[in-house]
Amino acid sequence: MNTDYLDPINSLNVPELADTTLAMDFLMRAKEGVRNLATALTECASPDARALLRTQLRQGIALHQEITELMVRKKWFHPYELTEQYQLDQLSAKNTVMIGQMNLFPGNTSRKGLFDRVPDGGGEQV
């Protein structure tokens, strides 16, 4: 298959795939932040710093909850249905392999004629 992945017609469903990937990455980073704040709180001696870390920890937990609820609502995350989550994880792994096998940098990268107007920036007229 010799698909031109830079052609906009071949980007169907990519925005949702990107949204789910970014949301999961955001969730994992929020979880890391909570873990790091909890560790820092246990090792901090200053009362002022401890108060600040406690506030940030509460905010981090609230952020993690908000991201989780968004992902559950959009059906991107199934924390209580392991079979469904496993299927999503398998699909994600399959998509990752598929993306890794794409020829994203073909020899001809000219996109003249694919868009309905001339790109901004003073380029050559189509």
How far is the C-alpha of 98 from the C-alpha of 11, rounded, in Å?
Answer: 14
Find out whether 67 and 27 touch, Cβ atoms under 8 Å.
Answer: yes
Residue 19 vs residue 36, higher pLDDT: 36
Condensed to tens digits (0 to 9), the pLDDT of residues 73-118 reads 999 999 999 999 999 899 888 888 887 787 766 676 666 666 666 6
**Would you kindly state where each structural domain of the chain is located, as residue ranges?**
13-101
Please tell me the pTM assigned to this model. 0.69
Residue 66 vs residue 15, higher pLDDT: 66
pLDDT score of 62 more than 90: yes
